[in-house]
C-alpha cells in the first residue's frame, strides 16, 4: 500500500514532528527524532524494532502515558500534547484501550468481572449486546465464570483483550501482547486481534519484537534510532525478518565505525 492509497483511510491518530528526549546535555537520549506518522481507523498496525529503538516510547507518547519534548499528536481533532493530566486521564478512560504483555487480571474476580472492570470503576453500565458480541468473537462464552487461575495463558489474554474493548475505545494499544505466551496461544491471540479489527472495526497499534506477530497486521513499521526506517503494507514474517536483520547489520557497522574513530589514550586511532 502506498502513502497515497493510505490517505483514503480516515486517520485514527497522527504524530507530527514528534520529539522525545530523556536527560540533558551530553547524557541526552534522543528516543524520538521528529517522527511523522499517521495510523488509520479500523486497521491493525505493528511497530517493530530492536531494543532501545524508540518503538515503545512512540506508543507511550501516543497514548499520553509519556509527555512529548516537542511536536504534536492529533487525536479526534485535538492535540493531546496540550492536554492537562486530568484531560489525559479522561481521554484514556473513554477513548483508549490497553493490552499489556502481563495480563493484569484481578485473581479474585471471574473472567466476566475482569472484562467489565473498566465500566465498574467508571460507574458505567455495560452494553450487554456489545459484551455478548465481544465474548462470542473472542470465544469466551464458556469461560465467563472462571477465575484467571482456571484459564490458559491464551484465554487470559483474550479476557484482557475483551477488557480493553468493552468500553468501545476508538483506539487500542497492545504492548507485546504475546510476549508471555507459547506459540500456539500467541497465534490464537493474534488471530483474535485481527478478527476484532475486521469484525468489530477496532483500531489497534501493537508493539512487538516478533516478525511472525507483525505478519498478522495490515501494516508494519520498523523503528531504529528514534526514526521510522521501513513501512510495509501486508507484511510477511520473511520480509519483516529481512528488514530487522538489515537494520541490525547497519547498526553493527555504524557502531564499529564509531569505535574505530574514537581517540585512544595515545591519540586518534589510525588504520594500518
pLDDT of residue 9: 76
The predicted structure's pLDDT at residue 18: 97
- Whole-number pLDDT of residue 58: 94
pLDDT of residue 8: 65
CA distance 260 to 229: 25
Task: Name residue, grid cell 483511510.
Answer: 9
pLDDT for res 267 = 57
Quick one: 33 exposed, middle or buried, by C-beta within 10 A (0-12, 13-18, 19+)? middle
Predicted local distance difference test score (pLDDT) of residue 253: 81
Please name each of the domains of the chain with its CATH number.
3-256 (3.40.50.300)
As averages over each run of 10 residues, the pLDDT of the chain (272 residues) reads: 57 96 88 95 93 89 93 94 92 88 91 95 90 88 96 91 90 89 86 85 91 95 92 93 84 77 61 46
Confidence (pLDDT) at 7: 54
For residue 268, what pLDDT is reported? 56
The pTM is what? 0.84
Cα gap 221→43, rounded to integer Å: 13
Amino acid at each position: 500500500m502506498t502513502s497515497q492509497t493510505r490517505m483514503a483511510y480516515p486517520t485514527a491518530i497522527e504524530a507530527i514532528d514528534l520529539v522525545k528526549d530523556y536527560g540533558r546535555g551530553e547524557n541526552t537520549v534522543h528516543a524520538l527524532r521528529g517522527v511523522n506518522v499517521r495510523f488509520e481507523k479500523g486497521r491493525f498496525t505493528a511497530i517493530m524494532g530492536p531494543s532501545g529503538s524508540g518503538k515503545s516510547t512512540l506508543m507511550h507518547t501516543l497514548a499520553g502515558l509519556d509527555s512529548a519534548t516537542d511536536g504534536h499528536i492529533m487525536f479526534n481533532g485535538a492535540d493531546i500534547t496540550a492536554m492537562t493530566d486530568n484531560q489525559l486521564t479522561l481521554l484514556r478512560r473513554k477513548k483508549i484501550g490497553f493490552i499489556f504483555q502481563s495480563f493484569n487480571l484481578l485473581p479474585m474476580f471471574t473472567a466476566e468481572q475482569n472484562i467489565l472492570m473498566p465500566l465498574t470503576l467508571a460507574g458505567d453500565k455495560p452494553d450487554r449486546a456489545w459484551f455478548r458480541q465481544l465474548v462470542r468473537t473472542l470465544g469466551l462464552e464458556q469461560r465467563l465464570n472462571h477465575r484467571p487461575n482456571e484459564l490458559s495463558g491464551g484465554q487470559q489474554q483474550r479476557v484482557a483483550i475483551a477488557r480493553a474493548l468493552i468500553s468501545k475505545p476508538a483506539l487500542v494499544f497492545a504492548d507485546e501482547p504475546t510476549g508471555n505466551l507459547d506459540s500456539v496461544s500467541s497465534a490464537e491471540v493474534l488471530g483474535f486481534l485481527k478478527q476484532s479489527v475486521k469484525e468489530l472495526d477496532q483500531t489497534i497499534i501493537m508493539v512487538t519484537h516478533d516478525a511472525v506477530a507483525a505478519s498478522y497486521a495490515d501494516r508494519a513499521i520498523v523503528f531504529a534510532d528514534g526514526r521510522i526506517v521501513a513501512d510495509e503494507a501486508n507484511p510477511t514474517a520473511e520480509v519483516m525478518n529481512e528488514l530487522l536483520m538489515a537494520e541490525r547489520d547497519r547498526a553493527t557497522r555504524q557502531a564499529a565505525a564509531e569505535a574505530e574513530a574514537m581517540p585512544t589514550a595515545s591519540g586518534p586511532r589510525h588504520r594500518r
